[in-house]
Amino acid sequence: MSKVGNYISEAFEELRTNTTWPEWSEVQRLTIVVAVFSVLFALATWGVDELFSRSIAGFFNLIKN
């Protein structure tokens, strides 16, 4: 059990001393970039899904009639 505690302790020490953290303004800018691309990707996925569902519905309507 002491190995787990030692590992966690060393991990936090490494985060505190050896990690280069970005500036707050960069974090905010990159967060906005990620949010915008997430919304665009969601809209693109919705659009493709809508296109395929309408195509399949149209195909089955052709077969049914």
What is the SS3 string spanning 16-52? HHCCCCCCHHHHHHHHHHHHHHHHHHHHHHHHHHHHH
Q: Is residue 17 a part of any domain in this protein?
A: no
- Going by C-alpha positions, the residue among 17, 19, 21 that lies closest to residue 30 is 21
Residue 11: strand, helix, or coil: helix
pTM of the model: 0.64
The residue that leads in pLDDT, 38 or 5, is 38
- For residue 1, pLDDT over 80 is answered with no
Q: Given this model, what pLDDT does residue 36 score?
A: 98
Q: Is residue 3 a part of any domain in this protein?
A: no
pLDDT digits (tens, 9 = 90+) for 13-23: 998 898 888 99
Q: Is residue 40 a part of any domain in this protein?
A: yes
Q: Is residue 36 a part of any domain in this protein?
A: yes
Q: Is residue 60 a part of any domain in this protein?
A: yes
pLDDT digits (tens, 9 = 90+) for 21-39: 899 999 999 999 999 999 9
Q: Given this model, what pLDDT does residue 64 score?
A: 87
Range of the domain at 31: 23-65
Q: How many domains does the chain have?
A: 1
Q: Is residue 7 a part of any domain in this protein?
A: no
